[in-house]
């Protein structure tokens, strides 16, 4: 009987994960990560989540432990967010959280405590081949596939992880939860920044980055409104723009850091679209594809530059110190700091931060 430490988050996906593993006769223990505690004005779900997770563990009759990673989460995720926003780069805290907290700090502690593996409620699949190489593949449910958020994992992490619900549709997971009588079967899925919850991003960033008012201008330099600080905004953003009376929805198309100005226009603006991006260094989940390993030729694949985006056809070239990812069709709102995930068929083979 393998000993499995299940990250029990309070959500239905992780609850069904624990239930399925117990049904398969694994020796299951529940672990709840305390990564962030509410500050004044936050809508942080930690306290509610831990109570729900306890209820699930009690119902399933499995041991329940908490793991306090508040300091690690602050150093590896929150400080990284603040630092990158100040550099005019839009970070992806969910991918960083998976790579540095869930599948590193949590996994390492599990292995030190003599657990064989960890398991989470992610919609993704891990398959191994005859050579003992582990491959990260999309979840069966295309609408819920979360492989993009796991783009930073490595072979060790993949070899010690289980994703039991990756072979299920979300509707099947809900149905299993109801049939099993799980106490959180009807609970809504969580949203917002990983472990922080639903927050007003500008208010959240103001804790570390002092506001500085500037102009919001259109592409003809007409002043349309004011913003608090240019770092808070990303290319393609529509929310939190205090502009009224416009006939069409307005989006951020460019940022001028020196002038502290945000340039906006409607979705038809040509500056909102581009057909290529550059990656400084790729992270390979397995061995590098041959064309890139030889640094010659090109690689045809599929790519995502954001979660839930449909696969986009691309060709990847090695150009000096850079990799250029060229899209078959122009892409809307390519943002520096976001992750470009590269797929071959349904396998996520490599990823890189957009420069």
- What's the Cα-to-Cα distance from 139 to each of 125, 126, 145, 150, rounded to whole Å? 6, 9, 5, 12
- What's the Cα-to-Cα distance from 284 to each of 149, 297, 326, rounded to whole Å? 15, 18, 19
Q: Which residues partner with 340 through β-bridges? A: 352
Q: Are 257 and 316 in contact (CB under 8 A)?
A: no
Whole-number Å distance between alpha carbons of 351 and 301: 12
Q: Is 194 assigned a catalytic role?
A: yes
Q: Please spell the DSSP secondary structure of 291-351, one letter per residue.
A: HHHTT-SEEEEEEESSTTPPPEEEEEEEETTEEEEEEEEEEE---TTSEEEEEETTEEEEE
Q: Which residues of 169-181 are buried (b: 16+ CB within 10 A; e: fewer)?
A: bbeebbebbeebe
Selecting among 107, 110, 194, 316, the annotated active-site residue is 194
Whole-number Å distance between alpha carbons of 242 and 231: 16
Q: Are 326 and 314 in contact (CB under 8 A)?
A: yes
Q: Are 137 and 286 in contact (CB under 8 A)?
A: no
Whole-number Å distance between alpha carbons of 49 and 182: 15
Q: Is 340 assigned a catalytic role?
A: no
3-state SS, residue 87: coil
Q: Which residues are catalytic?
A: 97, 194
């Amino acid at each position: 009987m393998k000993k499995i430490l299940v990250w029990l988050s309070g959500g239905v996906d992780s609850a069904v994960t624990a239930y399925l593993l117990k049904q398969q006769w694994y020796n299951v223990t529940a672990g709840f990560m305390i990564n962030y505690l509410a500050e004044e004005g936050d809508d942080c779900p930690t306290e509610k989540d831990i109570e729900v997770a306890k209820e699930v563990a009690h119902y399933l009759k499995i041991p329940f432990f908490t793991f306090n990673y508040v300091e690690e989460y602050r150093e590896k995720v929150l400080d990284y967010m603040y630092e990158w926003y100040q550099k005019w780069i839009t970070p992806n805290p969910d991918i960083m959280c998976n790579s540095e907290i869930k599948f590193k700090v949590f996994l390492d502690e599990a292995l030190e405590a003599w657990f064989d593996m960890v398991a989470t409620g992610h919609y993704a699949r891990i398959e191994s081949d005859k050579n003992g190489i582990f491959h990260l593949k999309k979840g069966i449910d295309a609408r819920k596939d979360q492989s993009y958020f796991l783009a930073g994992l490595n072979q060790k992490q993949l070899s010690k992880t289980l994703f039991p619900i990756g072979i299920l549709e979300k509707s099947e997971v809900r149905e299993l939860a109801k049939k099993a009588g799980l106490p959180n079967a009807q609970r809504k899925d969580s949203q917002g920044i990983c472990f922080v919850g639903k927050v007003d991003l500008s208010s959240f960033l103001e804790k570390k980055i002092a506001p500085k008012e500037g102009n919001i201008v259109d592409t003809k330099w007409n002043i349309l409104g004011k913003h608090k600080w240019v770092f808070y905004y990303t290319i393609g953003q529509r929310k939190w723009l205090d502009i009224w009376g416009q006939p069409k929805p307005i989006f951020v198309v460019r940022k001028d850091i020196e002038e502290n100005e945000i340039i906006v226009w409607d979705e038809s603006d040509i500056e909102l679209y581009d057909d290529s991006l550059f990656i400084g260094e790729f992270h390979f989940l397995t061995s590098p594809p041959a064309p890139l390993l030889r640094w010659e030729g090109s690689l045809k694949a599929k790519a995502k530059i954001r979660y839930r985006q449909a696969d986009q056809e691309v060709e990847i070239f090695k150009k000096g110190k850079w990799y250029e990812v060229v899209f078959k069709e122009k892409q809307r709102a390519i943002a520096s700091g976001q992750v470009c995930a590269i797929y071959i068929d349904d396998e996520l083979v490599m990823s890189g931060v957009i420069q």
